[in-house]
Amino acid sequence: MERLQKVIANSGYTSRRKAEELIESGHVTVNGELVNTLGYKVSSEDIICIDGTTINKSIIKEYYLLNKPREVICSASDDKGRKTVVDLIPTEGRIYPVGRLDYDTTGLIILTNDGELANILMHPKSKIHKTYIAKIDGILNEIDFKKLRKGVLIDDRKLIIDNVKVRKIDKIKNTSLVEVTIHEGRNHIIRKLFEKLGYDVMKLTRCKFAFLTDDGLKSGEFRELTTKEVRLLYSLK
């Protein structure tokens, strides 16, 4: 069940604020009955009309930000029966992940049924910045740090590193925590990056996607994107 004004806004008919005005001013009916109370909840089976015109709920757009746990597939389904990111979000809509994270990689991923936005976010021309934190086996030395700053050749193509910093070095456990920001989306690119320099990636998480961060989202948790956030994502094209 969803609030009536949200369903109207998600249908693309009008904004959330305008939908509230339409409801309060008596322009909206649900299953033939006038509804002028904000907060009224409807299901996917209810028929919503505005001034006699039925809204098309089949194009209701949904936007979610998920903090993906390990051992979850970035797909709408899996023929091996493994858990997918879609399984973690209870919705009647047919949402799908924008891009992907590896099976053992954790962190932020957007799920939506908005194909236009998905195309914007995945298109190479958009150059969406994504920030990862990698725990590597070994102490990142100054030489390799400078290589990261200059960019590294991966699969015969140079990977440009937008930003890199060492968050923590544990000399006892011989590990380093390195934050890397890139704007490419090649498969396994962060793991390949450190492997090229001779380090194994022990853990990898994506902590930032464009302006979105994992603040307040524990592993496995999700939230809906706000209208403002969706507009900002659209502006990245």
d(CA 90, CA 73): 16
Q: Please list the active-site residues.
A: 102
CA proximity to 20, closest of 222, 225, 230, 227? 227
Query: Residue 195, Cβ neighbours under 10 Å: how many?
Result: 14
> Greatest CA span in the chain, whole angstroms?
71
Q: What residues contact 142, with CB distance under 8 A and at least 6 apart?
A: none
Distance of CA 110 to the CA centre of its chain: 2
Query: How far are the Cα atoms of 1, 55, 65, 200 from residue 216, in angstroms, in the given order?
Result: 25, 35, 11, 29
